[in-house]
Structure 1
Amino acid sequence: MTSPLRTLAQVALPPLLLLAIVLGIWQGLTVALEIEPYLLPGPLDVLQAGWSDAGLFLQAGLRTGTAAVGGFLASLVVGCLTACLFAQSVWIRRSCYPYAIFLQTVPIVAIAPLIVVWCGYGMQSVILVSFIVSLFPIITSATTGLLAVDPDLLDLFHLYDAGRMTVLRKLRLPGAVPYIISGARTSSGLAVIGAIVGEFFTGYGSSGYGLGYLIMQSSTLLKTDRLFAAVFVSTLLGLAVFGAVSAIGAGILRRWYGSE
């Protein structure tokens, strides 16, 4: 076995083995204890429900994924621009940062009805909820990175009479790249959560529905097997978005800093 395959096996086999054990115990308990499927379906029931509605889950996953990616990209742009503004002045940072914290602390369920009133039902409202939920980590990480500048390098730029934009473009932003990528990883997972939560309240009207709607519908109808399948697909979606962002971030870091 070559070294890359051996490394992959060492990384992948332990969690896969644990998953197989958990699924086996789960299936065995549901059969031995004769648990009603509407209370706790077995893994085989969940797999059958997911397979029978595979097309439905695919369409819902694509719709939710589109909203999550839209909210994440918006949070990445707005968060980086906001962090650049915060890095320019301590007074701006002290004045505005508490309102950025507001985005993290306010319950999204409290403002979701307002979003429906302002934007109506549909994709735009789900993207807005995803954007609100995923914005704060970008602001925090990017601001930290922009301020984590070597004082000697900052003095050197000032010695050559460099302006604020020059310092930002040639010193602060390059040094903040790892911080921004770290915040993007966190934000990508929150964007998926925000999209699903947004679908609980704003939905898509008659134009279609996403995973959040399927979760609510399955719970209301006590279709627990389809509920578990929807949660599993949501988890896969979150892992896919997080993995894509992590892979892009790793590529950027390799290109930015070389093999080190």
Structure 2
Amino acid sequence: MSRAWLERLSGALAVAALLAAWETACRLLSPPAYLLPTPSAVGAALIEAAPRLVPSAGQTFLQAMQALLLATAVGVSAAVAASTHATARGALRPLATLLQVTPVVAVAPLLILWVGLDRADLSVVLLAATIALFPLFSATLTGLTSADPDLERLFDLHRARPMDRLLRLRLPSSLPFMIEGLRIGAGQAIVGAVVAEFVAGTGATQGLAWRILEAGNRLRTAELLAGLAWLAAMGLALNIVLGALEGVVRKRFGLAR
């Protein structure tokens, strides 16, 4: 069995052991169901509440993907500009860092106010894109400035045009970094979509955050945890897909891990 499969098996066993311990502790200690339901109760809630949770999960996923696409377009463009112009790099890096260190909960009410409560879906996408922007910008910029020095000198020797250098050397070498930024940004986009919907508090987008709030207010803790399970599943699925894409890119361009 390969090392990768051993790691996956170990992870699955750890999750199974945690769920078994949780189930056993709940049955022995009998806490109130509204305080801590058993994993089996959460599983039942996943099935019972599926007509509500599945469409909401789809809505949250769609908004997160829209945000990720927007963050990718802006972040990669900004990183390309920063890698080719020192002035742009000096201007963009502080702005990107400022976005990273500003608490998202503090930004969300202002953004929702600017966009308007009647356009809650747009504010959710914009906030999620803002959160996902920094890892994409930072990772892409690192990749663009980490090309093989020997190849850089070879391009200098042949007096390559800046555009040729960018398209033939720097962008291909930055792809693994960009995908790693996407893996981080995908999780951040989901977090941003949930936070924005929490702050909006209108339920207009009918995403998973609203279902979680609704279940919590009604003390349906099993359904609340089922909603969290959907969020975790979305993040895990995106991570697996992007991890596989990274492997394909590395193999295609002969890049080492």
Query: Quick check: TM above 0.5?
Result: yes
Q: Which residue of 2 aligns with 1:242?
A: 239
Choose from 191, 212, 228 the match for 2:225: 228
Greater mean deviation of Cα atoms: 122-131 or 243-252:
243-252
Q: Given residue 248 of structure 1, which amino acid in structure 2 is its aligned partner? A: L
Q: Distance in 2 between matches of 1:80 and 1:119?
A: 25
Letter in 2 for 1:225: A
Which residue pairs with 1:154 in the alignment?
152
Pick closer, same or farther for the CA change 1:149–1:19 going to 2, 3 Å.
closer
Structure 2 counterpart of 1:58, from 54, 57, 63: 54
- Residues 120-169 of structure 1, C-alpha deviation per residue, up to 9 Å, x if partnerless? 33322111111011110111111111111333332332333322222212
C-alpha separation in 2, matches of 1:241 and 1:140? 20
Whether the 8 Å CA contact 2:75–2:137 is kept in 1: the answer is yes
Among 28, 32, 35, the residue aligned to 1:36: 32
Does 2:89 align with 1:93?
A: yes
Q: Cα distance 1:36–1:86, how it changes in 2: closer, same or farther (>3 A)?
A: same
1:186 positional shift = 1.3
Q: Answer yes or no: is 1:118 the counterpart of 2:114.
A: yes
Inter-partner Cα distance in structure 2 for 1:131 and 1:48: 34
Q: Any stretches of 5+ residues in structure 2 without a counterpart?
A: none
Amino acid at match of 1:235: A
Moved more, 40-49 or 250-259: 250-259
Compute the displacement of 1:249 (Å).
Answer: 2.6
Structure 1 residues 40 and 190: alpha-carbon distance in aligned structure 2, compared to 1, 3 A threshold? same
1:194 and 1:125 mapped to 2: Cα distance?
10
Tell me which amino acid in the other structure corresponds to 1:193: V
Determine if contact 2:129/2:189 at 8 Å carries over to the other structure: yes
Contact kept, 8 Å, 2:197 with 2:203, in 1: the verdict is: no
Match runs of 1:200-211 below 5 Å: 200-202=198-200, 205-206=203-204, 208-211=205-208
Structure 1 portions without partners, runs of 5+: none
Aligned residues: 255
Q: SS at the partner of 2:84?
A: coil
Query: TM-score with structure 1 length normalisation?
Result: 0.89
> For residues 80 and 234 of structure 1, do their structure 2 counterparts lie closer, same or farther at Cα, with a shift above 3 Å needed?
same
Over aligned residues, Cα RMSD in angstroms? 2.2
Give % identity.
Answer: 32
- Are 1:157 and 1:167, in contact at CA under 8 Å, matched by a contact in 2? yes
Give the TM-score of the pair, scaled to structure 2: 0.90
